[in-house]
Chain A
Amino acid sequence: MTEKKKTQLKVLFSLIALLVCAGMLFYVNHYTRPTFMLRTVLQLGAIYALVAVSMNLLNGFTGLFSLGQAGFMAIGAYTFAIFTIPVKSRSGVYYLYGVADWLSNIQIPIWAAIILAGLVAAILAAIIGAPVLRLKSDYFAIATLGFAEIVRIIVGSSPMNRITNGSLGLKLIPKFSNFYFPFIVVGICILIVSLLIRSSYGRAFKAIREDEIAAEAMGINLAKHKQLSFIISSFFAGISGALMGMYLGAITSTTFNVTLTYNILLIVVIGGMGSITGSIISSFLVIAAREWWLRFLDMEIFIGSFKVPLLKSGFRMVVFSLILMIVVLFFRRGIMGTNELNWNFIINRLNKKKKTGGESCE
C-alpha cells in the first residue's frame, strides 16, 4: 500500500470515528431522559477537558509547573457572569449591596462574554507573567498558587461587593442554551490548542520542556515563548471558567479554591502529561467515576440483611483518592503518556501486539 493510500484510508477511518462520536452525542441527547446522569457527566467532562488541556499546554508541553488554573477560571467565570446576568434580575442578585451604577445596564451576548472572559484572563496572565515566569520550577508553582489565592480572595472581598457581590457570589447566570453548546465551544478551543501544538510554536514549547538551555541555544526566545504559552493557557482557562459558570448557574469565590486546581492537575496526570487526547479521555473518566459510577460507595447497602462493610458517607472520596495514588505510583505515565490517540498510535499498538503474539505490551 502506498503512503498516500494509507493516508486516505486513515482519513476515512477518522471520519467514521467522528460520525460515531457525533452520533453518540445525538443519541444521548434525543433518546435518553433529560435527567439522565450521562448528560451531566458529558457536559462537565467537556468543561474539565478544556481546562485540563489548557493546563497541559503549560505543564505538559512547555514544562512550566503552574498551579494557578483555578485563579484564571475564577476570572473567566466572574467576567462572564457579571456581563451576562439578565439586567432585570440584577437587583435580585445584588440584593444586599446593590449593583455598581456603570454595571447595572450592561448586558452582552453570550458568545461575546465567553471571548471576553478568556481575554480578561489572558490580559491578567500577561501582566503577572512577565515577573513570575522568571521563577524556576517549584517557585513558579508556588507563585502561581499564591496568585490564584489572591484572585480568589480579592474577588470575594468587600470592596468588590458592588461588582462581584463579594462573599455572596453571583447567581442566575445563563445556562447552556442547548445540549451541544459546551461540546462545540470546547471542541473549537481544543482544536485551536492542538493546531498550536503542531505549529512551530508548539515545537518550541516542547523544546523548552526538554531542555531550556539547549532550546535557548537553538535560538528559541525563552521569555517570549513561555509568556505566550502562559497567556494562551490562561485564555482557555478563562473560557472554561465561563463555561463552568454557565454549567453551575451560581458561583462564589470559594468555588475556585486550591482543591479545584489539584483536581485539574490530577486529571492531567491521569491522562498523561503532554497528551491532549489523554487529558480529554481522563476528564471524562474521572468525572464519570467521581460523580456517577462511584456514588454508590457513599450509601449503606444491604444485600438481604447483610450490611456491606465499609460503605458509608465519605467512602467514595477515600476510594477516589486511593485510585489517584495508585495511578500516580504505578502508572506514572498516565493513560496516554505523551502519545496522542490517533491512527498512527492505534496501528503501532496493533502491530506491536501482532509481533509479541498478542501478549499485552507495555
Chain B
Amino acid sequence: MKKFLALTMSAVLMLSLAACGGNASDDSAANNETAATGVAIEGDTIKIGVFEPTTGENGGGGMQEVLGMRYANQLYPTVDINGNTYNIQLVEVDNQSDKTAAVTAAQSLISSGVVAVLGSYGSGVSIAAGQTFTDAQVPAIGASCTNPQVTLGNDFYFRTCFLDPFQGTVMASYAMEQGYTTAALISQNGDDYSTGLAAFFQQAFEKMGGTIVANETYQTNESDFNAILTSIKAANPDCIFAPSSIATATLLLPQAQANGITAQIIASDTWENETIINAAGSAAEGVALSTFFDEHDETNPVAKEFVTGFKEYLNGNPQNLTSNGGSDGVAAVSALGYDAYMSVYEALKALDGAETLNSVALRDTLKAVSFNGVTGAISFDENGDAIKNVAYIKQIKDGKFAFLKTQSAE
C-alpha cells in the first residue's frame, strides 16, 4: 500500500518530463513571439511601476524617492498620445531592499501590465531585477542607483543620476583639492553601492598621488563602529571616505566624535538626508558630501518650482511628512524620483504619432529624451546613463546642508 507515494511521485515526473520533452520548442517560440512586442499600451490607462524599497535597510530613502514620483504623478496625471488622453497610474511595489524579494517584486509589476518602471533606490536590487525587466522588454528608469552594473549591458535600464566611478573620482579630486594626501575608507561588506564607491574612490585617489592608510569594512546592520574608528584614529588620515546607508551614517558620526576623530569625513549621495543631521547633531558638523541636487540653487527655474511645490505637497499631508523623516527638507532622491517620472512622461509624449504603442517603442523614445529636469538637463548616453558631468558638493554647517561648490571629475 505504501508504495503509492513513490508511484505517485514517479508518475508525476514521467508525465512532466514527457510534457516538457514534447513542448519545449513550442514554448520558447511562444515566449519569443510575445516578448518581441513588449507590453502594449491599451485602454485609457497607462501603468507605470514604482519599484522601490519602502521597508528594510533602505526603506527610508526609498520612500523619499517614491514621494518624488507620487508628486510628479499628481502634477502630470494624464498624457495625450495620438489624440487619446491616457491616465497615468502608478503601481507601487516594495522590493524590501532585498535582492531575492526584488526579483519577485519586479515580476509582480510586470504581471500587472506596467509599460515602464521607475527605481530603485539601492543599486543591488536594481541589478538583481534588471534581467526581469529586459526579459519583459519593459524599460526601467533608475533614479538614484549609481552602480555602473545597473545599466551596463542592459538595453532597457536607464538612470537619471551620475555613476559611482564619476562620484568616486569627484570626491577624490575634492579631497586632493583640499590638500588631503592620506585617506581612510569605511565600507559595508556585501553592499554593491558602498564597496563599489569605496573602490572607485581608492583608484582615483591613489592615481592622484594620495595614500589609503586604512581600509575598514563592516557587516550589514552593524551599529558599533568604535573598534574600526580606533584603528582609523591610530592610522591618522587626513580624511575619511565613508559611503554608506543613512542608518549607518547616523551611527558612525557620533561615534567618530566620541572617539575624538578630527579628520574630515567625506561621503556620498546617500548622506544628503535631513535624518542624518537630526540624529547626529553636532557630530555631523563639517561633513562634506557629493550629491545630485541643491535645494537652494536658484539658477534652475525647474528646480525652484519643484522645491516650492514639493514642500507644499509634503506639508499638506502628515503622513508624507513622516515618510520624509519628519521635516520638509527636499532630499536629492525625491528630486531624482521626480526626474525619473518626468523622463517617462516626456518619452510618452514623444510617442505621439507613433504607429505602435508599446513598451519597446517607449524605450526607443526614452533614448532620445531631452528635457530640463530638477537635477539639470537630462538626456541619456548609449548606456542609458544620464549625461551629467557635475556633482554638487555640500557641507553640513549649523545643522544645514550648505552648498559648497560644484565639482567635476578631473
> B-contacting residues of A (Cβ < 8 Å)?
3, 7, 10-11, 14-15, 17-19, 21-22, 25-26, 29-30, 33-37, 40, 44, 89, 92, 95-96, 153, 156-158, 166-169, 171-172, 175, 177-181, 183-184, 187-188, 190-191, 194-195, 198, 244, 247-255, 257, 259-260, 276, 291-292, 295, 298-299, 312-314, 316-317, 340, 342-344
Contact = CB atoms under 8 A, between A and B. Distances in A.
B99 to A, nearest CB: 5
A316 B94 contact: yes
B229 to A, nearest CB: 20
Given A14-B7, A252-B192, A292-B108, A34 B99 contact: no
Contact of B63 (A14, A89, A313): A313
Contacts of A96: 196, 199
A169 B100 contact: no
Contact of A22 (B19, B30, B107): B19
14 contacts: A14-B7, A22-B19, A34-B35, A37-B112, A95-B148, A167-B194, A168-B195, A180-B27, A181-B20, A184-B13, A187-B13, A248-B99, A292-B108, A298-B92
A249 B103 contact: yes
Interface of B: 1-13, 15-20, 23-24, 26-28, 30-31, 34-35, 39, 54-55, 59, 63, 92-94, 96, 98-100, 103-105, 107-108, 110-113, 124, 127-128, 130-132, 135-136, 148-149, 152-153, 187-192, 194-196, 199, 217, 219-220, 319
Contacts of B128: 171, 248-250
A92 B149 CA distance: 8
Nearest to B4: A342
B192 A178 contact: no
* Among all A-B residue pairs, the 4 with the closest Cβ atoms: A37-B111, A180-B20, A313-B54, A167-B195
Contacts of B136: 34-35
B190 A313 contact: no
B7 A198 contact: no
B94 A35 contact: no
B108 A291 contact: yes
Given A184-B13, A248-B128, A340-B5, A40 B108 contact: yes
A95 B11 contact: no
Given A35-B39, A169-B124, A171-B127, A191 B9 contact: yes
Contact of B189 (A25, A153, A291, A317): A153
A185 B136 CA distance: 25
A251 B15 contact: no
B131 A184 contact: no
A313 B24 CA distance: 40
A314 B94 contact: yes
Please indicate which of the listed interface residues B10, B107, B190 has the most CB atoms of chain A within 10 Å of its own CB: B190
A254 B100 CA distance: 9
Contacts of A295: 93, 108
A291 B124 contact: no
Contact of B94 (A40, A292, A298): A298
Please indicate which of the listed interface residues B24, B99, B104, B194 has the most CB atoms of chain A within 10 Å of its own CB: B104
A314 B56 CA distance: 9
A25 B19 contact: yes
B58 to A, nearest CB: 12
B6 A198 contact: yes
Contacts of A156: 189-190
Contacts of A180: 16, 19-20, 23-24, 27
B108 A169 contact: no
Given A37-B108, A250-B128, A178 B92 contact: no
A83 B23 CA distance: 28
Contacts of B319: 312
A92 B27 contact: no
A128 B188 CA distance: 28
A178 B93 contact: no
Contact of A187 (B3, B12, B28, B63): B12
A187 B12 CA distance: 8
A30 B127 contact: no
Contacts of B2: 198, 344
B1 A344 contact: yes
Contacts of A35: 39, 107, 110-111, 113, 136
Contacts of B9: 187, 190-191, 194-195
B156 to A, nearest CB: 14
Contacts of B124: 169, 252, 254
Given A92-B153, A188-B13, A254-B99, A249 B6 contact: no
Contacts of B26: 30
Given A14-B7, A26-B19, A171-B127, A36 B111 contact: yes
Contact of B192 (A33, A169, A255, A257): A169
Contact of B20 (A10, A14, A184, A340): A184
A356 B217 CA distance: 65
Contact of B8 (A18, A26, A299): A18
B410 to A, nearest CB: 21
A10 B7 CA distance: 10
Contact of A168 (B10, B92, B132, B149): B149
B50 to A, nearest CB: 10
A191 B192 contact: no
B131 A22 contact: no
B372 to A, nearest CB: 31
A26 B104 contact: no
Contacts of A340: 5
